[in-house]
Amino acid sequence: MFGLTITVHDHGVADQIEKETDKMIGEFLRVVINVYQKMFEGSRSGRIVQQGRFDRRSRIGGVRPQGKGQRIHRPSRPGEPLARDTGKTQRSYSVQRLKSGVYRIRFGGGVRYWEIRDDGKARPTILPALEKAAEIYFG
C-alpha cells in the first residue's frame, strides 16, 4: 500500500484539490474497470472441455446447445488471463468511495482464486489490468 499526505491550510484551495483528486481517481477507476472487462475477451489456447451430454464434433463452429451443462468451454492456459465462460466473473466487481480520496475496488467471481497461485496454474487478470490501465491513464 502507498499513500500521500498533503496539508493545505487554505480551505478554498483544499476543497478544490479534493474535488480534482476525486475526479481523477474516479476517471482512473473507470479505465481500470474497462480494461479488466476487456481482459476476458479474445481467444484462449487451452484445450476444449466438453460440459454436458452431446457430441462435441457437432458443436464446434455451431450454435451452443441450450440447457444447463450443455456447452463447450475453452479455458485459458496458465499465465493467460481468465477465459470468459458465463460472464459472471467479468461483471463481478464493485467500486466504493469510502471518503474523499479513498476508494475501494473489489473483484469477485473467483478471480482472486486464480490471480496469484503458487502451483504454476495462475491466470493473472487483475494485476495486468491495473498495469495496462496505468499505462493508458498516466501515459
How does pLDDT run across 52-73, given as a tens digit for each residue? 555 444 444 455 555 555 666 6
Taking the whole predicted model, whether its pTM rises above 0.75 is answered as no
Cell 464446434 -> residue:
60
For the chain, the structural domain boundaries read: 14-44+77-138
Round to whole Å and give the CA distance between 75 and 47.
7
Q: What is the 3-state secondary structure (H, E, C) of 57-90?
A: HHHCCCCCCCCCCCEEECCCCCCCCCCCCCCHHH
Model pLDDT for residues 86-123, shown as the tens digit of each residue: 778 888 888 888 887 788 888 887 787 888 777 888 88
- Amino acid at position 8, single letter: V
Instruction: Compute CA distances 36 → 22, 54, 60, 99, 113, whole Å.
Output: 21, 33, 28, 24, 16
* 31 pLDDT above the threshold of 90: yes
- pLDDT for 50 equals 62
